[in-house]
Amino acid sequence: MIEGLHPYSENRESGLKWLGAVPCHWQINRLKTIFREVDERSTTGKESLLSLRMNSGLVDHHLMGGRPILPTALINYKRVYPRQIVMNRMRASMGLFGIPKKIGLVSPDYAVLSPLREIVLGYYLQLFKSPVLGRVFRMESRGLGTGESGFLRLYFDAFGVLGVPLPPPDEQAAVVRFLEHVNRKIDKFIRAKRRELVLITEMLVKVTEEAMQRPDGEIMRLSTASELIVRPIDRRSRETYTRIGLYNRGRGIFHKPSAQGSELGDSDFFWIRRGDLVISGQFAWEGAVALAREKDDECVASHRYPILRGREQIVSSEVLLAILRTKFGGMLLNLHSRGAAGRNRPLNIKSFLKEKIRIPPVPAQARIIDLLDQEHAVAQSVAQSVKLVEEFRTRLTADVVTGKLDVRAFAERLPIAEADQLDADEEETDEDEPEEMEP
């Protein structure tokens, strides 16, 4: 993918600690000489509302599942245009920048940057998203609080005085062209790896659905097949606890930053044990259900996460999870989730447990458990592969946008139209689903 890439032959010190040496012909300019902040407000609110996402950039709010918003509520939102860069001031250090593809509206709290000179916006988008500059953005952010939970913002007065590289425009274009090529190859690899997981998941669902239709299965209420687990923690103010959350679409459990007991707020918390079936009380209807694994032992979940375990001699927690991931299980979770607060629809666990399901016979349960174990192993392998290739992408991008690698000759050999093409077997998918977090 990067055969033949070399450092530039002649370099000089940039004078910027975070940047180090740059090619001799690159300039160093303050951002306020490259961009100006603009603030044009909507008077009607009828333009499209755009959401800024980490991987997808600026996309239509309604296409990402956002609740409808009346135009009157969008009056005074900031108007944006394609030849601009939008910055989420609170998450600039995490690389939350985007380029509008059309005229639209963004939050009044975002910063809108318009170029003052002829530049390639894609180059600066990649530069702003690089972790090395993100650390500088973090140090220059101001506001209340500290850490990820603090309300820190990067304002233009601090942003504008930062020095950044200014390569010649044709070289900026070469960098963007090269990175588009690399990202297409990496994205194709990631899609292929994730397809492996999709195939085994499809097999698991099919086998589970067939097992549930067997006449030798037993029909019973969920409250009979499982028990609602309650293990309250004895909260201690100075003890550290690791809270869990759930991804949607059955993608498992993630761990939130550890917190001391005094920082857990007013929620009640309960211990998680390996083999627990954890359900999101707000997003179960989106498939936010998961089985606790060894890594989740001794973590805690708030009262917003009902915990179930299959009863011995009837059904295992693994099989219950597989049932809830079928279309029938999804229908039950959706049926008992009510609410009008956008995606946040609380699950009525009491009415849910009154539902009847067909419990597969023991031999069929064994097959389901085996497939679940296989799926988990594949998921771990895919996650590791994706992690490594994403780390490679991040390092390579940082080296290219900061002038550590010369991509000009490589970019010249690339087909001009490549960036606008998708292979026939590739699908445009959005893997940037938001993580389910406590409200």
**Percent over 70 (pLDDT), the chain:** 91
Q: Say if residue 302 is in the same domain as residue 415.
A: no
CB atoms within 10 A of CB 213: 10
404-431 residues labelled b (16+ CB within 10 A) or e (exposed): bbbbeebbeeeeeeeeeeeeeeeeeeee
User: Residues near 161 by Cβ (< 8 Å), separated by ≥ 6?
Assistant: 30, 31, 32
Give the start-end residues of each E strand in 210-295.
Answer: 218-221, 226-228, 240-241, 244-246, 253-255, 259-260, 269-271, 277-279, 289-291
Q: Identify the pLDDT of residue 254.
A: 94
Q: For residue 106, what are the β-bridge partners? A: 78
Please give the single-letter amino acid code of residue 344: N
Nearest to 164 by CA among 210, 110, 115: 115
Q: Say if residue 295 is in the same domain as residue 377.
A: no
Pick from 128, 147, 166: which residue ends a domain?
166
How many angstroms separate the first and last alpha carbons of the chain? 43
Torsion angles phi and psi, residue 241, rounded to 5: -125, 145
Q: Say if residue 321 is in the same domain as residue 352.
A: yes
Q: For residue 278, what are the β-bridge partners? A: 290, 307
CATH number, domain containing residue 71: 3.90.220.20
Q: Say if residue 157 is in the same domain as residue 78.
A: yes
Report whether 398 contacts 130 (CB < 8 A).
yes
Query: Residue 223: which domain range?
Result: 218-359
**Percent over 90 (pLDDT), the chain:** 83
Pick from 359, 388, 408: which residue ends a domain?
359
Residue 142 lies in a domain: yes
Residue 366 lies in a domain: no
What does the alpha-carbon distance between residue 328 and residue 20 come to, in Å, rounded to a whole number? 58
Q: State yes or no: pLDDT of 45 exceeds 90.
A: yes
What does the alpha-carbon distance between residue 371 and residue 203 come to, in Å, rounded to a whole number? 8
**Mean pLDDT computed over every residue of the chain:** 90
Claim: this prediction has a pTM higher than 0.75: yes
Give the residue-averaged pLDDT of 383-408.
96
pLDDT digits (tens, 9 = 90+) for 143-173: 865 544 457 899 999 999 999 999 999 999 9
What does the alpha-carbon distance between residue 213 and residue 258 come to, in Å, rounded to a whole number? 43
CA distances from 359 to 112, 223, 350 (A): 56, 12, 20
Q: Say if residue 181 is in the same domain as residue 250.
A: no
Please give the single-letter amino acid code of residue 382: V
pLDDT digits (tens, 9 = 90+) for 48-70: 999 999 888 999 988 776 678 89
How does DSSP assign 308-366, residue by residue?
A: EEEPTTT--HHHHHHHHTSHHHHHHHHHTB---BTTB--B-HHHHTT-EEEEPPHHHHH
Residue 364 lies in a domain: no
Instruction: Name the 3-class secondary structure at 268.
Output: coil
Residue 203 lies in a domain: no
Q: Say if residue 190 is in the same domain as residue 281.
A: no
Q: State yes or no: pLDDT of 422 exceeds 60.
A: no
Q: Say if residue 41 is in the same domain as residue 15.
A: no
Please give the single-letter amino acid code of residue 22: V
What does the alpha-carbon distance between residue 232 and residue 220 come to, in Å, rounded to a whole number? 28
Pick from 359, 392, 421: which residue ends a domain?
359
Q: Say if residue 243 is in the same domain as residue 335.
A: yes
Give the residue-averaged pLDDT of 28-44.
97
Q: For residue 300, what are the β-bridge partners? A: 243, 271
Q: Say if residue 189 is in the same domain as residue 281.
A: no
What's the number of domains the chain is made of?
3
Residue 213 lies in a domain: no
What does the alpha-carbon distance between residue 140 and residue 325 come to, in Å, rounded to a whole number? 45
pLDDT digits (tens, 9 = 90+) for 293-339: 999 999 999 999 999 999 999 999 999 999 999 999 999 999 999 87
Q: Say if residue 418 is in the same domain as residue 312.
A: no
Residue 126 lies in a domain: yes
What does the alpha-carbon distance between residue 384 and residue 378 come to, in Å, rounded to a whole number? 10
Nearest to 295 by CA among 269, 280, 273, 319: 273
Q: Say if residue 171 is in the same domain as residue 157.
A: no
Q: Identify the pLDDT of residue 338.
A: 86
Nearest to 375 by CA among 207, 183, 180, 148: 207
Residue 47 lies in a domain: yes
Residue 398 lies in a domain: yes
What does the alpha-carbon distance between residue 148 and residue 151 come to, in Å, rounded to a whole number? 8
H or E element, residue 110? none
Q: Say if residue 222 is in the same domain as residue 355.
A: yes
What does the alpha-carbon distance between residue 235 and residue 231 come to, in Å, rounded to a whole number? 12
Q: State yes or no: pLDDT of 77 exceeds 50.
A: yes
H or E element, residue 109? none
What does the alpha-carbon distance between residue 94 and residue 152 come to, in Å, rounded to a whole number? 12
pLDDT digits (tens, 9 = 90+) for 238-275: 999 999 999 988 889 999 999 999 999 888 999 999 99
Report whether 30 contacts 160 (CB < 8 A).
yes
